[in-house]
Amino acid sequence: MSATASKVLYWQTFTDGLQPGEAPAELGGRYDFVVVGGGVTGLWAAWHIHDREPSASIAVLEADRIGHRASGRNAGMLTSHLGWTYSDVLRRYGEEKAGPLARAGHDNALKVIERIKELGIDCDLHECDLLVVSTHPSFDGRIARDIAAAERLGIRLEPLDRETIQGRIASPVLTRGYAQRGGLVNPAKLTVGLAAWLKDHGVEIHERTPADSIRALAEGCEVVTPRRRLEAGRVILARNAWSVKERPQAPQVQPVTTYGAVTAPLSNRQWSELGWRGGEGVWDKRAMIYSFRPTPDGRILFAGASTRFPLGTRLTTRRLESNPGDVRALRQGFDLIFPQLADLPFEMTWGGLVSTTPDHIPKVGARSGGLIAYAHGDGGHGLAQSHLISATAVDLSLGQQTDRTGLLLTENLDLAYPPEPFRWLGGTAAAESMCRHDTAMQAGRRLDREYWLLELSNRLLEWLRPGRAD
């Protein structure tokens, strides 16, 4: 089945008429807090501020529409992951540091589900298991390592053998996996619903209002928008991939292109043959991850990472938004996992950007004496982790020491990607290397080393780290 790029944003077809309304007629002159970014990280940051200081004046500035970027384009999975894999974080940082991070991520995913219900946000919440799977026996070792690492970190994963996992989803290529509790939502409805809740509770939501410049003053901050200059007691930056435009945080962030697609609706017979009665969200153990889930209207959403990286701050080029070659690669992945649905067409496809960091762990920090705090580096799992990293940014903004501020999220802030064009060259080469490795493993060819180019780049980043002890 051929596939073409359409650029239709599937989830946002459900939010017509649900937007929180146009921006207030006038921006105020001064706010206690200004949050820059109207995705889930910025909206949860505003919620945390309001929850702790209900009388504070808060404005959320969004350059486009609420949830228009990654927050409204993802697969809608509320996952517990805060790093690349459990085994990777354990190997890199050891039990003492990796354990609290893993447990915080697990607790946070369940907390987000309860928060959605508590706030009464209608976002098609489905509480379910989330599955991580192998698509070939070559990947089974990664599953085993993750299960063992998670146990050492205090997280219980439910192992799934081939018979069990294919009893849940009838894909002939699934060989092993594990399950962990989480949930699925319509991400666009979540962001719009959260924004509407905030607006109802006195938080100003200003769409199509970019922050052109931000600087700390002797007391407070100055935020300049196209409409007027604002004064803010504190600023929270929640731009994620767009942090690459914000100095001095730019070297911490690498925007990464991902693509999503939804199929035509499946027939009752096709759903019956697939099984999938639990409606689980799934992603696989290749480095260039495939993820997939059923949708509330009877389709399959299928998504995957691309080897395409923006150069510098060129984040809105047409090739990143919708690229036929990447959509064809996505279709090949779908046909691999669901060969019995090879004639089922993709009806909508789209592209978007997520952000990653040099050690694949989100970064939360503050500068200018806490006047400006930031949180970014979602790595594609930001829908749930945004609740945790935004809370941590608010902790730092308020000068509070909490269990969150002691996590790895606030450490290694001096890790940085190299300047352009070396960032683009290195990222592209590493992604191509991982893609080739995934292809070889899917074909059953065993390789002596995994992702040698990525490991080399990580070693170089560590060696170039400012303040490194010789």
Q: Is 71 within a domain?
A: no
Burial 397-415 (b: 16+ CB within 10 A, else e): bbeeeeebbebbbbbbbeb
Same domain assignment for residues 171 and 299: yes
Domain membership of residue 272 (yes or no) is: yes
Q: Is residue 22 part of a domain?
A: no
**Nearest one of 305, 288, 329 to 450, comparing CA atoms:** 288
Give pLDDT, residue 188.
Answer: 95
Structural domain contains residue 376: no
Looking at the structure, tell me whether residues 163 and 295 fall in a common domain.
yes
Please name the amino acid found at residue 430. A
Residues in the chain: 470
Same domain, 290 and 172: yes
Instruction: Report pLDDT for 465.
Output: 45
Per-residue pLDDT of the chain (470 residues; tens, 9 = 90+): 545 555 668 998 888 766 655 555 588 889 999 999 999 999 999 999 999 999 999 999 999 999 888 898 899 999 998 877 999 999 999 999 999 999 999 999 999 999 999 999 999 999 999 999 999 999 999 999 999 999 999 999 999 999 999 999 999 999 999 999 999 999 999 999 999 999 999 999 999 999 999 999 988 999 999 989 999 999 999 999 888 888 888 889 988 888 999 999 999 999 999 999 999 999 999 888 899 999 999 999 999 977 777 877 777 655 666 678 888 889 999 999 999 999 999 999 998 888 889 899 999 999 999 999 999 998 778 899 999 999 999 999 999 999 999 999 999 999 988 888 888 888 888 888 888 888 888 988 866 555 555 555 555 544 444 433 33
Residue 347 shares a structural domain with residue 428:
no
Contact (Cβ atoms closer than 8 angstroms) between residue 197 and residue 121: yes
Q: Domain boundary at 356, 384, 411, which?
A: 356
Residues 132 and 270 in one domain: yes
For position 306, which CATH number holds? 3.30.9.10
> Does residue 438 share a domain with residue 341?
no
Residue 449: give the domain boundaries: 424-463
* pLDDT on residue 368: 94
Whether 258 maps to a domain, the answer reads yes
Q: Where does 138-210 show beta strands of DSSP type E?
A: 158-160, 177-184, 204-206
pTM of the predicted model as reported, rounded to 2 decimal places: 0.92
List beta partners, residue 33: 58, 234
Q: Which of 307, 334, 356 is the last residue of a domain?
A: 356
293, part of any domain: yes
The last residue of one of the domains, among 356, 385, 415, is: 356
Q: Which residues contact 240 (CB under 8 A, 6 or more apart)?
A: 37, 39, 41, 69, 70, 253, 354, 355, 376, 377, 378, 382
* Shared-domain flag, residues 348 and 457: no
Q: Is residue 61 in a domain?
A: no
**Shared domain check, 446 and 319:** no
Kindly state whether residues 174 and 297 are assigned to the same domain: yes
SS3 384: helix
The count of domains in the chain is: 2
Assigned domain for 210 exists: no
> Residues with Cβ < 8 Å from 362, sequence gap 6 or more?
82, 375, 376, 377, 378, 379, 382, 385, 389, 409
Examine the domain organization and report whether 335 and 453 are in the same domain.
no
